[in-house]
């Protein structure tokens, strides 16, 4: 039975019962910002988390608590920082949290992205640890805890915490309200114990995360790394058979759930006029009718963008017959620009682009087009659809949703995915051209394969990848997570539940499941 928005809606109703769903993340799904003309625009941020969670929230409803980072966010929200989203057709509530510039600097730029981000990604960027940043991180986690508790009121709630910005939040919530059900999804990799233990606050972070009833990563490998790290750092009982940790009288289950996308969305984003828009885009950037390879990323040192450009250069050196015959279009959304590593990387990519274009280009042809600005989902999907191939060369990535979005957008069953073997996505999309991005020859060969692969082979590979993404879409991810929360109290598997249409003929059974669920959730929430 296929996983759809409607099926998730129904699962959420059964599984959550009367409990309110509260999602917490740093990044908000809709950002309001002032335009130069004095108006206000609403943008969708770059990054996998919000792309993935927004359809889930649209299906389940509830409240999404996040940092209000746009300069027009206050004026568009009410006095409590609340606003119904998506704009125009609201289906859930966004509750914005206001941070001081000092706290944003310490908690977001400092500890989250200067300490935890490089610590968890094995890309040889040394993490920095500042006591001031750590203090801001603790403060902001406490601030979010009080907002979540306010939103939960006194009733039952399931709090679904997102990512490394909130390692302390689960235990803060449990300390205040042991009856809350708390689950966390860690969107980035978890490193091995040797790497993690350099963090001066390793124990505090792990204790914070063990406040969860369920802690989830993209892959079993990251779950194993986490369990090993806990084992070497804290006094606690590890259940290696069932993947869990018992500490301070509480149990935390650790499970993999590979995140995904809503494949249907690409049709909406493309619209009926995509071919005209593709022609206009080709004219705007002087692409002619040449094949285009694309890369779509935040400008981040984990994404392997310089490595990708070096591979374009390599391809042209080793295969000069390709000069003048293709383009590489890199969308690079500026990201975390308050950090010097990110600003420097942006400059380096722009310089590398110029150098390679000068080396190989002609007055009529530039091999690389660097689009160094934020692109919305409609523009990105258009690029995916018109490309001969998409290059994802991350040096390390928990999942990488660009790979899945590209596949989802290719209903024509054409196009080649060149995919780093160091992404979580490479475990699922095995029909991609898998490459080691540290190996410039291999990456250049991967790009050449994308330019030369026969249509029949493209179709064979793309068909399989599309089936993978369709079967394992974002609704399945959320449904399985909800089910795992429920399974903590012996719930049945939603994969084996009767079809929604069949439910009426199984009245007795669904009634039993519903009352068992309600009872189990109450027990789980300690409200017997």
Residue 23 binding ligand F6P, by CB under 6 A: no
d(CA 478, CA 484): 10
Provide the edge-to-edge strand list for the sheet that holds 244-247.
Answer: 82-85, 92-97, 63-67, 20-25, 157-162, 181-185, 214-217, 250-256, 244-247, 237-239
User: Measured from the CB of residue 391, what is the shortest distance to ligand F6P in angstroms?
Assistant: 19
User: Measured from the CB of residue 252, what is the shortest distance to ligand F6P in angstroms?
Assistant: 21
| Closer residue to ligand F6P in complex, CB, 244/258 | 258
The number of helix segments (H) and strand segments (E) in the chain equals 21, 18
d(CA 386, CA 379): 11
Tell which one of 335, 353, 393, 423 touches ligand F6P (CB under 6 A): 335
| Closer residue to ligand F6P in complex, CB, 328/406 | 406
Binding window for ligand F6P (CB under 6 A); candidates: 47-55, 56-64, 150-158, 516-524: 47-55
d(CA 307, CA 123): 12
Residue 49 binding ligand F6P, by CB under 6 A: yes
User: Measured from the CB of residue 424, what is the shortest distance to ligand F6P in angstroms?
Assistant: 11
Residue 95 binding ligand F6P, by CB under 6 A: no
Displacement of CA 144 from its chain's centroid (Å): 20
> Cβ-count burial of 508 within 10 angstroms (0-12 exposed, 13-18 middle, 19+ buried)?
exposed
**Pairing mode, if any, of strands 92-97 and 433-435?**
unpaired
Tell which one of 17, 29, 48, 494 touches ligand F6P (CB under 6 A): 48
| Closer residue to ligand F6P in complex, CB, 104/431 | 104
Binding window for ligand F6P (CB under 6 A); candidates: 42-50, 136-144, 429-437, 506-514: 42-50
Binding window for ligand F6P (CB under 6 A); candidates: 46-54, 127-135, 378-386, 430-438: 46-54
Q: Which residues is 77 bridged to in the sheet?
A: none
User: Measured from the CB of residue 162, what is the shortest distance to ligand F6P in angstroms?
Assistant: 7
User: Measured from the CB of residue 335, what is the shortest distance to ligand F6P in angstroms?
Assistant: 5
User: Measured from the CB of residue 297, what is the shortest distance to ligand F6P in angstroms?
Assistant: 10
Cβ within 8 Å of residue 309, ≥6 positions away = 328, 330, 349, 352, 353, 356, 368
3-state secondary structure of 280: helix
Q: Which of residues 282-311 bind ligand F6P (CB under 6 A)?
A: 298
Residue 336 binding ligand F6P, by CB under 6 A: yes
Q: Which of residues 156-215 bind ligand F6P (CB under 6 A)?
A: 163, 187-188
Q: Calculate the alpha carbon distances from 282 to 290, 369, 386 in Å.
A: 9, 11, 10
- Buried b or exposed e, range 308-333, using 16+ CB within 10 angstroms: bbbbbbbbbeebeebebebbbbbbbb
Residue 47 binding ligand F6P, by CB under 6 A: yes
Binding window for ligand F6P (CB under 6 A); candidates: 48-56, 267-275, 499-507, 514-522: 48-56
Tell which one of 27, 133, 257, 303 touches ligand F6P (CB under 6 A): 27
Q: Which of residues 105-164 bind ligand F6P (CB under 6 A)?
A: 163
Q: Which residues is 370 bridged to in the sheet?
A: 330
Contact predicate 331/375, CB 8 Å? yes
Site residues (vs ligand F6P, CB under 6 A)? 27, 47-50, 163, 187-188, 298, 335-336
């Amino acid at each position: 039975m296929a996983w759809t928005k409607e099926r998730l809606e129904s699962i959420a109703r059964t599984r959550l019962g009367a409990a309110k769903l509260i999602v917490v993340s740093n990044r908000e799904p809709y950002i309001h910002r002032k335009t130069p003309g004095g108006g206000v625009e609403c943008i969708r941020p770059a990054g996998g988390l919000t792309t993935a969670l927004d359809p889930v929230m649209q299906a389940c409803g509830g409240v999404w608590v996040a940092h209000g980072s746009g300069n027009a966010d206050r004026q568009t929200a009410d006095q409590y920082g609340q606003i119904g989203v998506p704009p125009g057709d609201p289906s859930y509530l966004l509750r914005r949290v206001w941070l001081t510039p000092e706290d944003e600097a310490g908690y977001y730029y400092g500890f989250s992205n200067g300490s935890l981000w490089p610590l968890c990604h094995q890309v040889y960027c040394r993490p920095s640890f500042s006591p001031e940043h750590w203090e801001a991180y603790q403060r902001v986690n406490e601030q979010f805890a009080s907002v979540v508790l306010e939103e939960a009121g006194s009733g039952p709630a399931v709090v679904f915490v997102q990512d490394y910005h909130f390692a302390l939040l689960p235990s803060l919530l449990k300390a205040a309200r042991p009856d809350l059900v708390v689950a966390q999804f860690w969107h980035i990799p978890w490193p091995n114990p040797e790497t993690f233990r350099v963090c001066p606050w390793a124990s505090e972070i792990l204790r914070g995360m063990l406040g969860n009833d369920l802690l989830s990563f993209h892959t079993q490998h990251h779950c194993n790394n986490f369990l090993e790290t806990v084992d070497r750092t804290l006094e606690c009982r590890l259940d290696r058979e069932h993947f869990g940790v018992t500490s301070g009288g509480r149990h935390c289950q650790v499970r993999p759930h590979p995140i995904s996308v809503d494949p249907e969305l690409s049709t909406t984003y493309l619209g009926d006029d995509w071919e005209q828009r593709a022609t206009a885009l080709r004219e705007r950037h002087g692409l002619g009718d040449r094949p285009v390879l694309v890369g779509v990323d935040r400008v981040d040192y984990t994404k392997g963008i310089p490595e990708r450009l070096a591979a374009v250069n390599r391809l042209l050196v080793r295969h000069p017959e390709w000069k003048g015959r293709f383009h590489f279009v890199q969308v690079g959304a500026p990201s975390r620009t308050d950090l010097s590593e990110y600003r420097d990387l942006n400059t380096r990519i722009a310089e590398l682009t110029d150098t390679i274009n000068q080396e190989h280009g002609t007055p009529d042809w530039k091999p690389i087009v660097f689009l160094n600005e934020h692109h919305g989902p409609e523009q990105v999907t258009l690029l995916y659809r018109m490309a001969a191939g998409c290059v994802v060369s991350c040096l390390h990535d928990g999942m990488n949703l660009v790979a899945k979005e590209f596949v989802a957008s290719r209903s024509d069953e054409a196009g080649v995915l060149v995919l780093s073997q160091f992404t979580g996505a490479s475990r699922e999309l095995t029909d991609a051209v898998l490459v080691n991005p540290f190996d410039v020859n291999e990456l250049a060969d991967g790009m050449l394969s994308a330019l030369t692969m026969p249509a029949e082979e493209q179709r064979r590979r793309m068909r399989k990848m599309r089936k993978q993404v369709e079967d394992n879409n974002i609704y399945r991810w959320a449904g399985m997570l909800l089910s795992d929360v429920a399974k903590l109290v012996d719930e049945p598997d939603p994969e084996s539940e009767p079809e929604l249409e069949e439910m009426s003929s199984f009245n007795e059974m669904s009634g039993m499941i519903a009352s068992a669920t309600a009872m189990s959730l109450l027990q789980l929430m300690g409200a017997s």
